[in-house]
Structure 1
Amino acid sequence: MNKQHNRFEKRKNHKQRPASKRPAFAPRDSNSQVSQSKLSSPRIAEQLQTGDRITVEVKKIGINGEGVGYYERKAVFIPGALPGELVQAQVEKALPNYIQAKLLSHKRTSAERVTPPCPVYEACGGCSMQHTRYEEQLRAKENVVRDAFSRYTKLTDLPLRPIIGMNDPWAYRNKAQMQVGFHQGAVQTGLYAPGSHQLVDLSGCPVQHPDINALIQRVKEWLKAYQVSIYQERKRKGLLRNLVVRIAYTTGEMQLTFVTSEAHFPQAKSLVAAIRREFPKVVGIAQNINPKKTSIIFGDQTTLLWGKETLQEKLGDLKYELSPRAFFQLNPAQTLHLYRAAEEAAQLTGTEEVLDLYCGTGTISLWLARSAKKVTGIELVKEAIEDAKANARLNHIDNAVFITGKAEEWLPSQVAKGYKPDVIVVDPPRTGCDDALLKAIIQAKPKRMVYVSCNPSTLAKDCAVLLKNGFQLEWLQPVDMFPQTAHVECLILMVRK
């Protein structure tokens, strides 16, 4: 998944339920019962308003981790609700095709419900499934994939493999990107609450590596002690905007980046000295300058304050040098499972030409290059291509070529010239592949296509197009890259008929 997640990470065409499954309805601010004749009216759901209360039986988990039930044949999305629960919810938005509601209370509770270990779980919004037993999280994610393919491909016998979960689904994230704020005399670092600019302080986040948590906590104390000016987004005043910390799981090396609104950073030397004294695992400290009014973390200019420009990480026997802005998968342990599945799907013998579209920093390209004749990686971001080339040199891989370009334009132009790779790998954004790219893939007629996606809906829709144009689906492999969230990564293998 070659994309950054600003959160620890669309509802579409949800199945309808028959009218006989109608839940009870109570008017706004009232606990009185409604007559059965009124319940039977097909206009009841249309008359719902913000603040009305409804009782809903939850049927499944939705693509964003919310509970999904049905009221008068409309899907009702209730964050925090679990399948099998009977809940009272308050309508927050009643739209023609669905209802959004807030969980108020339980009339029946699921046995899969657990107490979230994070004290700010509900306020943060970074995780959406900590209230769910992990085994149920995995089942729910499998079902999300199954539902998406049922909806868009109409396959009756889906070759879905069991999802690959984690033995320990905590402390897996190797990178934290924290907004910095100041509240009631204390420096805060965390994420904005969903739908707001209210900063939620994340001290000791249970899905982050504990060394990251420890470093951030001490840096917060030093920021206050050295009176570092904290950026105020609304006023566009102040210096420090973000802290970005990365750790290499295999080497233990750490990297810290201060994101500031301007170059002048008077406390930088004092902060660097304090960090070096207490955290010998930190091998590089950088300053990134972002003066723009934007929600994007990094600016264009990065300056090394002390130490090494990169830290080294490994996946299997491959080494990667990571600069502060370089993309790298956030869960290395699960990334190994994903790349091994890609290797299995590619079925390389050493004679194949592989095309890796949306290759990012070339992590999949380099993984496959060892068993291929040649790998060509295409990526729009120039800096990512430079990282890919550097990592190819680091690993002495000379059969991988990386090209800066837009996949949707590059492949059609090459296919028009007769280019026909043996294997195509795609790892597109959440929006999936556009029509021009799918058309070019169909025209290229690769023997095998490996599609990696973080969005089951767009994956299934693109798969449906390929199924109609000479491909067949061999198998699907979900991987739980982000436990405690609703995100699910899925890899599929398609072959030419």
Structure 2
Amino acid sequence: MKSTNQHTKVEKGQQFPLTIKRLGINGEGVGYFKRHVVFVKGALPGEEVVATVTKPGDRFSDATIKKIRKASPDRISAPCPIYDQCGGCQLQHMQYEATLKEKADLVRQAFERYTSFSERELPIQKTLGMENPWYYRNKSQLQVNKSKGQLKAGLYAENSHTLIDLSACMVQHKLSNHVTQVMKEILQDLNISIYNERKHRGAIRTIVTRVSFTSEDVQLVLVTAEPSLPKRKQLIEQVKKRLPEVTSFMHNVNEQKTSIIFGNKTELVSGEETIEETLGDVSFSLSARAFFQLNPEQTVVLYNEAKKAAKLTGTEKVVDAYCGVGTIGLWLADQAGDIRGMDVIEESILNARENAAKHGVTSYQYEVGKAEDWFPKWSKQGWKPDVVVLDPPRTGCDQKLLHTLKQTKPHRIVYVSCNPSTLAKDVEQLKQSGYKVQNIQPVDMFPWTAQVESVTELVYHKS
């Protein structure tokens, strides 16, 4: 395939007809021009389009739709008025049920590309979706800028530095939209300086909101490029007066020239340090920088699938790697014998310990640090888990952790993944050490985007 591709040269601006075969990992349609792979933004499987090349390459090229000759029956009009500009969602032009089918296919494609499993060794289930896939996100992190006296809070348009205002996002909780909009008005009314990225001057960089779906309390974080919060007293007065739903008002300092949202210093401005969120019967205290799943309703679905895959009987030693505030571990705790977890963010571990104690979990240990460091320590001390739950970042598991897993060989691994490609690569390594895939359950945590989460159940079989 690769050698054939090299013979097919395409040029920028070139146009040709394409039949779209499938979706790519970023939600684009994938077609083949003389066996050359072409990614077409906005195209859907089964469509016949005329494509215009925007970025030619040796192995693959990017293109846009010049004309749709034959539309997919799954094509719909996107309900969001700024859908084409924002780039936050990639699939609002597709029937929701059809997106669920394609997300399971994205998982299948990753395993076919990166593993040696045969098709019968891949028990990939139908994607579990939402009944109402709107206003589901509990957290927003919106960049702020000011141009011609107009203050915007939003996301940068794809491949540009144009900020698209997101005051009425259809996937954010409505309270997030409200608090952000009022916060913009407060900043404007108080004439507080706004960060200019190009000049690296000004104060307010980002408005972060987190909503508790249970209580509808809101945590507000203002991220500044300066050590102090300007007009602090007036800000507190205005937030209390105009945003009574804000029960936790925090200030984070990020003085670096970086696209990373948070700096290392976070302080309380007014209210409480944390807000409470409840999943099922388990409640969690969340500090400003603590990781927590962004879709509470589907998190319950995801964690129930993890619990099902863990197959606990009440005595097992469980490691919750990349544990955050302890969500998955505490979800399993009522059926486990001993829970241990780790995370690199200290506030998350403090929250995890607090959450465990609050729920009467007596046998737990949460530590600050990386899974790949703590796991070998515990192994050397003779503490070996029966079940390991992995919920790594998009980059997948650290090689050191995978090596430890291959050495210690816990009977069961439950891999919660947000990236099918890194999941497949990691699972292939575990397969070489004797693990078999029992089940793969995709879950739609982020409707209308190309992202798909999944729970993979792996069991060790001695050769």
TM-score normalised by L of structure 1: 0.88
Matches within 5 A, 1:214-363: 214-363=178-327
Aligned partner (choices 58, 61, 69) of residue 107 of structure 1: 69
What is the CA deviation profile of residues 225-271 of structure 1, one whole-angstrom value per residue up to 9, with x for unaligned ones? 21111110000111111101111001111111111122333433333
CA distance in 1, matches of 2:404, 2:434: 13
Residue 102 of structure 2 is matched in structure 1 by 140
Residue 445 of structure 1 is matched in structure 2 by 409
1:55 aligns with 2:1: no
Residue 22 of structure 1 is matched in structure 2 by none
What is the CA deviation profile of residues 399-432 of structure 1, one whole-angstrom value per residue up to 9, with x for unaligned ones? 1211223222333454455443111111122222
CA distance in 2, matches of 1:408, 1:274: 46
CA distance in 2, matches of 1:362, 1:274: 34
What is the CA deviation profile of residues 276-318 of structure 1, one whole-angstrom value per residue up to 9, with x for unaligned ones? 2233221121221221111111122222222111111111111
Alignment check: 8 A CA contact 1:412 1:436 kept: no
1:190 aligns with 2:154: yes
Provide closer, same or farther for how the CA distance between residues 272 and 434 of structure 1 changes in structure 2, counting only shifts above 3 A: closer
**AA partner of residue 351 (structure 2):** D
Provide closer, same or farther for how the CA distance between residues 224 and 380 of structure 1 changes in structure 2, counting only shifts above 3 A: closer
What is the CA deviation profile of residues 373-407 of structure 1, one whole-angstrom value per residue up to 9, with x for unaligned ones? 10110223333222211222222222121122322
Residue 26 of structure 1 is matched in structure 2 by none
Residue 153 of structure 1 is matched in structure 2 by 116
CA distance in 1, matches of 2:421, 2:228: 46
Alignment check: 8 A CA contact 1:454 1:489 kept: yes
What is the CA deviation profile of residues 151-174 of structure 1, one whole-angstrom value per residue up to 9, with x for unaligned ones? 323322121222110001110000
Alignment check: 8 A CA contact 1:142 1:163 kept: yes
**AA partner of residue 104 (structure 2):** E
Percent of residue pairs bearing the same amino acid type: 46
For structure 1, the 5+ residue unaligned runs are 1-15, 20-41
Secondary structure in structure 1 of the residue aligned to 2:436? strand
Secondary structure in structure 2 of the residue aligned to 1:449? strand
1:68 aligns with 2:30: yes
Provide closer, same or farther for how the CA distance between residues 241 and 468 of structure 1 changes in structure 2, counting only shifts above 3 A: same
CA distance in 2, matches of 1:477, 1:43: 37
1:454 aligns with 2:418: yes
Alignment check: 8 A CA contact 1:366 1:400 kept: no
What is the CA deviation profile of residues 136-190 of structure 1, one whole-angstrom value per residue up to 9, with x for unaligned ones? 1101101111122223233221212221100011100001100001123211000
Secondary structure in structure 2 of the residue aligned to 1:45? coil
Alignment check: 8 A CA contact 1:430 1:458 kept: yes
Provide closer, same or farther for how the CA distance between residues 270 and 474 of structure 1 changes in structure 2, counting only shifts above 3 A: same
Alignment check: 8 A CA contact 1:153 1:460 kept: no
Alignment check: 8 A CA contact 1:420 1:445 kept: no
Residue 87 of structure 2 is matched in structure 1 by 125
1:464 aligns with 2:420: no
1:408 aligns with 2:372: yes
Alignment check: 8 A CA contact 2:203 2:230 kept: no
Alignment check: 8 A CA contact 1:451 1:492 kept: yes
Alignment check: 8 A CA contact 1:245 1:255 kept: yes
Alignment check: 8 A CA contact 1:153 1:461 kept: no
CA distance in 1, matches of 2:230, 2:367: 40
Secondary structure in structure 1 of the residue aligned to 2:187? helix
Residue 7 of structure 1 is matched in structure 2 by none
Give how far 1:203 is off: 1.8
Of residues 169-178 and 261-270 in structure 1, the stretch that sits farther from structure 2 once superposed is 261-270
Of residues 144-153 and 413-422 in structure 1, the stretch that sits farther from structure 2 once superposed is 413-422
Residue 85 of structure 1 is matched in structure 2 by 47
TM-score normalised by L of structure 2: 0.95
**AA partner of residue 165 (structure 2):** D
1:387 aligns with 2:357: no
Alignment check: 8 A CA contact 2:38 2:62 kept: yes
Provide closer, same or farther for how the CA distance between residues 317 and 104 of structure 1 changes in structure 2, counting only shifts above 3 A: same
Residue 492 of structure 1 is matched in structure 2 by 456
CA distance in 2, matches of 1:287, 1:196: 28
Residue 94 of structure 1 is matched in structure 2 by 56
Alignment check: 8 A CA contact 2:224 2:252 kept: yes
Alignment check: 8 A CA contact 1:298 1:325 kept: yes
Measured on the aligned residues, the alpha-carbon RMSD in Å equals 1.9
Give how far 1:435 is off: 3.5
Give how far 1:477 is off: 0.8
Secondary structure in structure 2 of the residue aligned to 1:478? strand
Secondary structure in structure 2 of the residue aligned to 1:370? helix
Alignment check: 8 A CA contact 2:44 2:75 kept: yes
Alignment check: 8 A CA contact 1:50 1:92 kept: yes
Alignment check: 8 A CA contact 1:67 1:80 kept: yes
CA distance in 1, matches of 2:86, 2:158: 7
CA distance in 1, matches of 2:383, 2:268: 42
Give how far 1:44 is off: 6.7
**AA partner of residue 398 (structure 1):** T
Residue 30 of structure 1 is matched in structure 2 by none
Alignment check: 8 A CA contact 2:101 2:126 kept: no
What is the CA deviation profile of residues 21-66 of structure 1, one whole-angstrom value per residue up to 9, with x for unaligned ones? xxxxxxxxxxxxxxxxxxxxx88722x2222122211111111111
CA distance in 2, matches of 1:217, 1:229: 17
Of residues 99-108 and 233-242 in structure 1, the stretch that sits farther from structure 2 once superposed is 99-108
Matches within 5 A, 1:470-481: 470-481=434-445
